[in-house]
Every structure is written in structure tokens, then in C-alpha cells.
Structure 1
Amino acid sequence: MSAESRMAGAQPFTALLARSITASGNARPTDEQYAAARRILVDWLGVALAGTTEPVAKILRAEFASAEGAASVLGGGRASAADAALVNGTTGHALDYDDVQQFIGHPATVVVPAALAVAETVDAGGEELARAIIAGYDAARFVGTLAMPGHYDHGFHSTATIGAFGAMAASAVLMGLAPEETENAIGLAATQAAGLKSMFGTMAKPFHAGRAASAGVIAARLAARGMTANRESLETDQGFLATQAHQPVPADWRAPRFGESLDHLLFKYHASCYLTHSSIEAVRQLVIERGLIPDALESVVLRVPAGHLKVCNIENPATGLESKFSLRQVVALTLGGYDTADIGVFNDMLAGDEALGRLRGKIGVVGDLDSIFGARATIRIGDDTMLEAVWDVSEADIGPNDLDDRLDRKFSVLATPLIGAARVREVLDLSYDIRKTDLAKLSASLHIA
């Protein structure tokens, strides 16, 4: 056995994943799973609609959208299924406001646009879409549990790489691929998977998501036409895990189970990198409780997990995009009274604001917290009083009704400026029970005049 095979565990991961994806096409989701799929859809639609005005979205529409094509493009036009997934996936990640999953990254902006594009080509309904979304999340999470965190720590953007398997799975379910075809599709997704963390803070980061969505669609469509690939692409020598995991397969791995990934959904309520959110909330708590004003601050120390320093530690961002990956900037915005839930505060002008720059100079970041998503903020004010707050956004206790209300409000805030209040209500009503959602009507309601 080679060293690469030992790293991959020499288990039939590809066949197990293929069987799981194939079985998902006939699965019967629970009411809770349908509700989770609806939350995923509504949250992504809101951030994607808002993302249509971003420069990267306009660039991709100019290149790929036209008056013809099998699938709809958000922001206007049509394209092939693969190109629609590319444009819409990029658009949905342009604001970095989409959902989070520990072993994947940002699954919705890869899985949902692929599923919507393929669903449109096969005339699927809401029930089929929900199964495809769940299968996509499950597939991506399974691959992620085998490869993470070594894969991400080594510099790969998991939304782009792991996400490609999710887009492929969603597409395969909607297209009804057989197990052997699905094994080939897994291989075709594996050999396209790409994305570098060094691109964070640039337009290339959201492009990663669109490219992964497109790669998944292409993988499934080509496999359905008979294209072959290595049918042991996950576990084989020089395969995906051997070349990209950079760690042994965890001893506690297990085969994917339908809907298991839905137990780990995390949604964003700040328009920045998710790893900045606990720091924002910790500082925000102190601002609210103590009525802090910037002039009273002597210093701020953020203690965060070491991994955050490799993702969101841009000291002096020059652009709005870089600001989303700057712990100092998001905390300076919070201290300065700005609402980081507002997509408009992440702009080039505020990145260069002198007052915010002075606040950033008072903020130190230390990567020694034993956590995954948590943060501890310590603020010293003028009379040498020390204030401290600890927060972990991944442990927020929100009931399903409150979660639905919060996500519906987020969708309304993001979408109303683009499609109007009446059609916002239409979208929410059409998606209320995703099993009955008419996807053609939903697409028409999303049209931006």
C-alpha cells in the first residue's frame, strides 16, 4: 500500500458517496428537512439578488448571459445550465453574506445555483429541488469530513473544492444518474475542484463559488452522456484525498446519511467573513451594555482561534472587499456605530476613512483562543477599566420559528430594493412550503426590472 493510499484510508469512499447520492433521489425528507431546505433557498436568494449589483456579477453577466439559454441568470438574461450556475454562484457569494457549514465553507452558493439551473432544464418542482439541495449538502459535508481541516489549512478554499462535490450531487439527483454514472461524475467533479485562499479579498473568491457550481453541473451532465473518470477518485493513489487532504482520513469517518448535514446549518447576519462575526458580536455587546464611544477607548484586544489569522486578518484594508476579511475593520465599524449587517458599509470609502483607521490602530489581534468560531474581546477605556465579552456565533440558540422570521426579514431587506415589496411577498409565499413551490413562478418573481 502506498503512502497516498494510507492517507486516504483505502476505503471505497467514492462508491459509498455514489450510492448515497443515488438513494437521495428517492428519499422522503422529514418536515424538518424540508423546512431546512426552504431556509437555505430563501437565504441564498436574498444574498444573490443583492449581489447582482456587485461588479463581479456584472462582469460575469456581460461574459456569459444572453437572450437565449436553458437556465435563468439572476440580474437578467439566460445561459446554459453550467454557465447560469457559474454566474449565479458567483453572484450569490459576491457579498460574502451566504450561509456557512464547518466542513464545507459556504455550501448554498455552490449547491443552490447548480440545483436551480438543472431543475429548470429538467422541469423539476420544489420537492425535487429540496431533495437535490439536501443531497448536495450531504455529499459536500461527507467529502469535507474526510479532507478537513488539513485541506483548508494548506491553502485550499473549501467552498470551491469541497463545494464542487455538492453541486455535482444536486445535479446528479435531479438528472437521475445511475450509481456508475454518479461515480464518474464524482471523478469529473474531483478533477475540476480548485480554489486558493490567497484570493480572499478579491473578486476571485466569489468566482470560486460560481466555478464550483458550474463544475458540478458539468460533471453530472457529462457523466450522463457517458464520459468516464476514475471511479475511485476520492480514495485512489494521486486522487482527491491523497493530493489535497494533507491529513490522514479521520478514524471516526462514516458513510453519509440523508439529511445529516442539515444539523449543522449556520446563517450570517453580518455582511463579512463568518470568522469575524463572533468578534463583532462580542464588541457589540460591550458597546450596547456600556454605551461605549470611540473617544473613550484606549485599546481593544481580540483573542481568536489561530486559524482566523490566516483568513480575516488584513490589518489595513484598502477596499470594501478586503474590509470583509479584516477583524480590525469590522470591529472598528462596530465601535464607530456602523451596522455590519448593512452591505453598504463594506465600501472603499470607509476602508480609507481616517477615523476608522485610527480605531484600527487601537485594535490588537491574538490567535490563541481554543475554539473554532469563538472570540474574546477585551476593551480598556480611559480610566483603565477593563471590559470583556466572549461570544461564539455558532452556538446561538435560535428556535425554528425565530430563525424563519429572521431569515425572512434578511431576505426582505436585501431583496426589496431590487424587486419591490410585492414580489418579495410573492417569493416568500411561493417558498413557504418548498414541496409545493412552482419554480417557474419563483423565477419570474425574482426578475429584476
Structure 2
Amino acid sequence: MKSLILSTFTAAAMLIGSPALAQKKYDPGASDTEVKVGNFVPYSGPASAYGIVGQTLAAYTKMVNEKGGINGRKINLVSYDDAYSPPKAVEQTRKLVESDEVLFMYQTLGTPSNSAILKYMNSRKVPQLMVSSGGTKFGDHKEYPWTMPFNSPYQAEGRIYAAYILKNHPNAKIAVLYPNDDYGKDIYKGIRDGLAARTSMIVKELTYETSDPTIDSQMVALKGSGADMFLNLTTPKFAAMAIRKLGELKWKPVHILNNVSASTGAVIKPAGYDNAQDAITATYVKDPTDPQFKNDPAIKEWEAFVDKYMAGGDKTNSLILYAYAAAQVMEQIVKQAGDNLTRANIMKQAENLKDLKIGALMNGIVMNTSPTDHYPIEQMQLMRFKGERWEMFGELLEGKLTD
């Protein structure tokens, strides 16, 4: 009898002390069978071109789940429409955190919308990961330790353009168009900081509201300023309008187009290829229309994904490739978390990306993070639009945010 009791006690102790059982820790949104992830993107409204990002995340999630999930758990992606409206984003975020009880938020899109939920997410200590925005503040690890962006910082991108201007067009007369929101002000600050003592090169700057039906009057005024360089710091819908208007006005300035609107399929094709010739942009995601990537293993893998999970998807739309890359990072973070699916550990894993290579990113770019570095991507490649596609030139550049 004593032997039986001892054996039973020993077996129970072994079960209790089993590493597999001991390591399983769950917060709301996690269980033995699933990991619930929250997201919002503008499926409607003035920035609905970005809706494809949410569709791609959903398609990638379906693929992952069909392969058995991550560490044996299915990903339950809950994605809502915020219509690119900050008040709507707050409403949807509260629903995701308090009602749907997601483990973390991922790839929530847009600088204004993410700005609106920033303090809420950090006060609730819910990870706001790989934010689909290069808003510089989203990488402020001291002020917002539960937030991390995916995009290269907008101010860094702005500094890269400024460096290009000072080196190649030091006598340019610059006209600027940007949205009157956090995004526009952020990237424009990077440009002004980069120009430093040469901001007098800017001869005209105008803004628009995302609710505006047209930007025709702004474009006419910018041309009338006598500028020979146009900084097109606009979101996709308005970038297409601006590019089309360049053609209508027969205005041919040196044209710098920000990365968020550089999609060949979503922006340039509808605006007219002829109107975008010689435009310059910076990117960190490969261009799926570039012949040099025709046999790239990562691009071929992405094309197979689109064919199977997004039938009819536009393979010239770089936003699909962008979202695919971001989804791969989500998979890596959850994989690293193992059976410790607490919000604190998810955040810890996001801060522990070491030389992570994502095939969809430009060759040479690796992702690194730490508790004191919340900017995973800090390098970009310049490209020029020729014919019906972008052509890379120069080396990888880094726009440092501090001198």
C-alpha cells in the first residue's frame, strides 16, 4: 500500500512538474487550440485601397491554419473596418480588446487611426504590433512600450528624400503636397529636418483633407508657384489624382512620390503610366513587377500564395506583397512565443527579432528589435519609374532619426 501511494504521488508530481505543462501560460485570446488576433483596416472610405492589406492577412491566416496552425494552434484573425476614421478605430479597438478579447493587435492600419488608440493600448498593456504605419512615435519604446511599427519610419524616409535632393538637385524649387494629418506632418518633418538650413528651397506647401473630393486646386497652385520639383506626400487615392493631374497640366517637375503610394497596380496604373515617368520613391519591399525578381524564390512563393488563396489578386499590387511580409513576421512572433501565450511574452518576442530575413523585403534588409529598439526596418532602396515598372538605383540607404 505504501509503495502504491508513493508511486501515485511520484506520478502526480511528475505531471505537475512536466515542462510541457508548466510552460503553458495563457492570457485572454489564447488557448490550447487558438490564438485570437485583432486587426482593423479601411475596407471602406477615402483610403479603401488599403483594404487589400486586411484581405491578405486573412488569406495568409487561412494558409497557416490549413497547414496546422502555429505550434498546433489555429490563428483566429478578427478584422474590422475603421473606414480610416480615428473615432471608428477607437470603437473597433475597444470591441476587439474588451468584447472579442484578442491576445494582441496586429497590422492595424493608418497613422491617424493608430494614433487614436495608442494610449488606450498601452494603458491596457495589450501589444499593438507591426503597426501598418511608419509614424515615428510608434517606435518610441519609452513612451509606448507596448507598441511597435512595421513600416520604416516616415521621418527616416523623409530624410532619405532630403539627402537625395541635396546631393542631386541642390538648386531645386520645391512644391509639397501632404495630407493634413499625423502621417503627412510626420514624413514632411523628416524632409524639413533633412534639408536643415536649406528649407528655403521649399517655395510652396499645401495640404488636403482625406474627405476632400479633389485636389485639383492644390495642384494648379503648386504648378503656379514656379516649382521644378514636386514632393507628392499623399495617400493612394490622392496620389493617383495628383499623378493624373500632372499629365493634365503638362507639368513635368522632378517628382518624388512617397512609399505608401508607390504601388504600380493600385496607384500608378489607374493614374496613367505616362504621367508617372521618372518618378522617384524609396522602398523596403520588393517590387513584384521588377523582372530582376522574376525567378526570386520568395516572389515565386508569394505568387503561388496569391494564386491559391487570393484567386484573381492583382500581382502588380505591392500592397499584397507588403501585407504578406507583415503576416510572415506575425507567424514568427507567435512561433517564438511557444506555449507562453501571455501578452507580456508576445511583446517580449516582438522585441527579440534577431537578423530576421523576410523574403519579400529588399535584399540586404534584415529585421532586428530589442526592448530599446522598436524600429524593425530602418533601411530603404531608391527606385525610379520607367515604362510600366520601378527600377532600383543606388545602394540601400538609412535615414537616421537622430544626428
- TM-score normalised by L of structure 2: 0.25
| Structure with greater proportional helix content | 1
